[in-house]
């Protein structure tokens, strides 16, 4: 089993894995449209974290990391991830394309968690300036919302590379508004 991380699972991995691979899925876009009241914000002052939204363009990419779980620990790790990502629902069997095919194969099927668009914490689209202001001022038990944004941008810059800005324009816009 492979698990795809596109938000905090990129840098906050609290489970064992056999392999970590940078790459992308297609047909989705990453958006700061999910309220966080238990990690990057609190009730009454939520932060904004990312979720995936189906794209109208099947070639749109979301970059992240796929983790191959140890076969003998899949059920235990999946249970821990279900608890960690409890405000999300799981989507199964989505192709993940490796950044570099030196890992053996060019793609694998991954599981990932995505917020339901009808859920109580789904914020949806908003003005970028308003989103940036909310991100700058939110803090929760897992830290500043601004730190979450910065770590996601750092991953894109360091591991995706020169195309990071055009590969995730939404993230780039929010990063530039928060870190002028």
CA distances from 44 to 31, 47, 121, 137 (A): 21, 10, 12, 12
Q: Are strands 47-54 and 28-36 parallel, antiparallel or unpaired?
A: antiparallel
pLDDT at 101 over 60: no
pLDDT band for 93, please (50, 70, 90 cuts).
Answer: confident
Q: Is 85 known to be catalytic?
A: yes
What are 127-139's pLDDT values in tens digits? 999 999 999 999 9
pLDDT at 103 over 60: no
> How would you label 32-43 residue by residue, b for 16+ Cβ within 10 Å and e otherwise?
bbbbbbbbbbee
Per-residue pLDDT, 127 = 97
Write down the CATH number for the domain with range 2-178: 3.10.490.10
CA distance 145 to 135: 5
What are 6-32's pLDDT values in tens digits? 999 999 999 999 999 999 999 999 999
Per-domain residue ranges of the chain: 2-178
> Active site residue: 59, 71, 83, 85, which one?
85
What are 107-120's pLDDT values in tens digits? 899 999 888 888 88
């Amino acid at each position: 089993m492979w698990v795809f991380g596109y938000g905090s699972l990129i840098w906050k991995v609290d489970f064992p894995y056999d392999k970590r691979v940078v790459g992308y899925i297609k047909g989705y876009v990453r958006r700061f449209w999910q309220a966080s009241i238990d990690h990057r914000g609190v009730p009454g002052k939520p932060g904004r974290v990312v979720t995936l939204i189906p794209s109208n363009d099947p070639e749109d990419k979301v970059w992240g990391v796929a983790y191959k779980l140890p076969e003998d620990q899949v059920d235990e790790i999946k249970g821990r991830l279900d608890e960690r990502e409890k405000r999300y629902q799981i989507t199964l069997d989505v192709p993940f394309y490796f950044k570099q095919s030196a890992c053996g194969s060019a793609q694998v099927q991954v599981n990932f968690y995505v917020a339901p668009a009808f859920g109580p914490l789904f914020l949806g689209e908003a003005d970028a300036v308003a989103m940036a202001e909310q991100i700058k001022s939110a803090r929760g038990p897992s830290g500043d919302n601004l730190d979450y944004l910065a770590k996601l941008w750092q991953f894109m810059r360091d591991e995706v590379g020169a195309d990071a800005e055009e590969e995730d324009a939404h993230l780039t816009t929010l990063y530039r508004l928060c870190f002028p």
